[in-house]
């Protein structure tokens, strides 16, 4: 199976991969091979030009692709939205953009998915847990995804622990579904109540980025122009606590995902998903700073991968019945405050080009189920009318009719029909202002 093949390849290639999560202040952490603090800044150069690195002040994350089976991603059906009205009152169907942050498409969730998150409360304090919740939620503002925090970690898809000395890491995206052994899927290995907010926030944003299926940005297929001084990179990561072999450095640093596995449209070294590297590792001194925030491209692409449904917005314009230079302004508005069981119609007189209020009898007919119409009249005294019609009784397949008093006051049904109801739904308000009903001023 292709998915299994991809997963096992990812597993082999990146069981442990690392963007840098820096921690400036904490230096007392347990450093076995599974853990946390590694390479940071160059301390000094000795006379033999061998660089010495300070491994004490940087924390890195260990991302995990567990070798698990996960079901195929459910087909995503974008929400069906009503058509809109153009300025002439004609219906049109706006294009909605669907879907780049480097990501593994098969491991990304669907837009709108709700992911349950639980914490091993015996490992983390309330202060720390509340900070994790707060910063994880920042993703919700840029991606259409929800983290639902549940009390019992056993009932959570994302199982988050705080085992000191075990580093910070997360399973990638939908691999969490395959967690049949109910293992922890995420760990924060150096948080305590005194960990600076900037460190907590940066690390939480990064790890929850992995939860969303985002990979380390320096492994993007498009990150292939970093002018590494490879011997320095090997030497840098060969130091403790990584003690990486050349092969491991090849895999964790120089390896690039194939375009067929990873969706990536541009390389962003300011991404929260990018490593920090000292500039001395590149021939052009490229600097890879500590990224504390979601970058502009993180925000754009997170919303691209997890698009929000387009907002239903109102529309306005002018109708022309074709009779006697009639001009009727329409305004369609969607109000969160209106009862979604009703559509509100306001029919009102306007002021014509000769500054006279339109007063003669006018009527619109809203088609209702059963072949009838709900008439709404603009009365001769020029008062406006407000009618609320139950959505369930409106026949959205038919069209709105228009009638007016013609010569000798004869109430006349006009041939013009307005095909607009499919652009409406419960909780909206349509205001029609009949602002002209003749071609010339009456003397
Ligand atoms: Zn990571």
| Cα–Cα distance for residue pair 140/149, rounded to 1 Å | 13
User: Quick one: pLDDT band at residue 23, thresholds 50, 70, 90?
Assistant: very low
Please report whether residue 310 resides in a domain.
no
Tens digits of residue pLDDT in 370-429: 999 999 998 767 778 899 999 999 999 999 999 998 877 788 999 999 999 999 989 999
pLDDT number for residue 220:
80
Q: Are residues 278 and 321 in the same domain?
A: no
Q: How far is the CA of 232 from the centre of ligand 1 (A)?
A: 22
Q: How far is the CA of 152 from the centre of ligand 1 (A)?
A: 25
SS (H, E, C) 69-89: CCCCCCCCCCCCCCCEECCCC
Q: Are residues 363 and 253 in the same domain?
A: no
Query: Judging by beta carbons within 10 Å of its beta carbon (0-12, 13-18, 19+), is residue 110 exposed, middle or buried?
Result: middle
Please provide the average confidence, as pLDDT, over all residues in the chain. Answer: 80
Q: Are residues 324 and 236 in the same domain?
A: no
Please report whether residue 63 resides in a domain.
yes
Q: Are residues 299 and 383 in the same domain?
A: no
CATH number at residue 363: 2.60.40
Query: Which of 91-100, 102-111, 203-212, 217-226 is the most confident on average?
Result: 203-212
pLDDT number for residue 45:
31
Q: Are residues 266 and 343 in the same domain?
A: no
Q: How far is the CA of 345 from the centre of ligand 1 (A)?
A: 54
Tens digits of residue pLDDT in 73-82: 777 666 666 7
- Is pLDDT at 89 greater than 80 in this prediction? yes
Q: How far is the CA of 251 from the centre of ligand 1 (A)?
A: 14
Host domain of residue 412: 315-436
CB 183 within 8 A of CB 163: no
Number of domains, the chain:
2
Q: How far is the CA of 213 from the centre of ligand 1 (A)?
A: 11
Q: Are residues 278 and 361 in the same domain?
A: no
Within 8 A by CB and 6+ apart from 145, the residues are 109, 111, 112, 113, 114, 115, 139, 212, 306
Q: How far is the CA of 20 from the centre of ligand 1 (A)?
A: 8
Q: How far is the CA of 209 from the centre of ligand 1 (A)?
A: 8
Q: How far is the CA of 214 from the centre of ligand 1 (A)?
A: 9
CATH number at residue 90: 3.40.390.10
Q: Are residues 324 and 377 in the same domain?
A: yes
CB 271 within 8 A of CB 302: no
Average pLDDT of the residues in 239-264: 76
Q: Are residues 340 and 234 in the same domain?
A: no
DSSP lists the bridge partners of residue 17 as 63
pLDDT number for residue 256:
78
Please report whether residue 442 resides in a domain.
no
Q: Are residues 232 and 331 in the same domain?
A: no
Q: Are residues 205 and 329 in the same domain?
A: no
Q: How far is the CA of 113 from the centre of ligand 1 (A)?
A: 22
Q: How far is the CA of 45 from the centre of ligand 1 (A)?
A: 30
CB 108 within 8 A of CB 90: no
pLDDT number for residue 240:
61
């Amino acid at each position: 199976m292709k998915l299994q093949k991809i997963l096992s390849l990812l597993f082999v290639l990146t069981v442990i991969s690392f963007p840098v999560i820096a921690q400036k202040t904490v230096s007392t952490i347990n450093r076995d091979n599974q853990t946390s603090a590694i390479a940071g800044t160059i301390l000094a150069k000795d006379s033999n030009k061998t660089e010495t690195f300070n491994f004490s002040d940087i924390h890195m994350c260990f991302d995990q692709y567990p070798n698990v089976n996960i079901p195929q991603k459910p087909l995503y059906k974008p929400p069906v939205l009503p058509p809109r009205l153009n300025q002439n009152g004609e219906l049109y169907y706006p294009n909605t953009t669907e879907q780049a942050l480097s990501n593994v498409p098969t491991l990304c969730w669907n837009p709108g998915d709700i992911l349950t998150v639980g914490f091993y409360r015996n490992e983390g304090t309330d202060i720390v847990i509340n900070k994790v919740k707060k910063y994880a939620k920042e993703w919700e503002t840029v991606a259409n995804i929800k983290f639902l925090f549940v009390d019992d970690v056993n009932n959570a898809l994302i199982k988050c622990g705080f085992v000191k000395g075990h580093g910070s890491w997360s399973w990638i995206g939908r691999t969490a579904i395959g967690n049949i052994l109910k293992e922890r899927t995420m760990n924060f290995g150096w948080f305590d109540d005194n960990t600076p907010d900037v460190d907590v926030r940066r690390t939480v944003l990064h790890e929850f980025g992995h939860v969303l299926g985002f990979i380390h940005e320096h492994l993007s297929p498009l990150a292939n122009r970093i002018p590494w001084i490879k011997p320095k990179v090997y030497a840098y990561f060969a130091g403790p606590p990584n003690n990486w072999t050349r092969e491991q450095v090849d895999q964790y640093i120089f390896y690039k995902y194939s375009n067929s596995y990873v969706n990536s449209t541009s390389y962003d070294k300011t991404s929260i998903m990018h490593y920090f590297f000292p500039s001395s590792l590149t021939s052009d001194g490229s600097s890879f700073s500590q990224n504390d925030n979601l970058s502009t491209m993180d925000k754009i692409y997170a919303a691209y991968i997890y698009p929000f449904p387009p907002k239903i917005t109102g529309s306005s314009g002018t109708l022309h019945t074709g009779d006697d230079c009639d001009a009727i302004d329409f305004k369609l508005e969607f109000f969160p405050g209106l009862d979604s069981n009703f559509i509100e119609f306001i029919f009102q007189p306007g002021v014509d080009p000769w500054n006279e209020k339109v007063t003669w009898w006018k009527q619109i007919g809203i088609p209702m189920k059963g072949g009838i119409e709900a008439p709404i009249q603009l009365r001769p005294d020029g008062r406006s009318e407000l009618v609320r019609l139950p959505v369930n009784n409106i026949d959205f397949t038919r069209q709105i009719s228009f009638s007016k008093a013609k010569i000798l006051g004869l109430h006349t049904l006009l041939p013009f029909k307005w095909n607009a109801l499919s652009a409406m739904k419960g909780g909206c308000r349509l205001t029609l202002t009949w602002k002209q009903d003749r071609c010339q001023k009456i003397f």
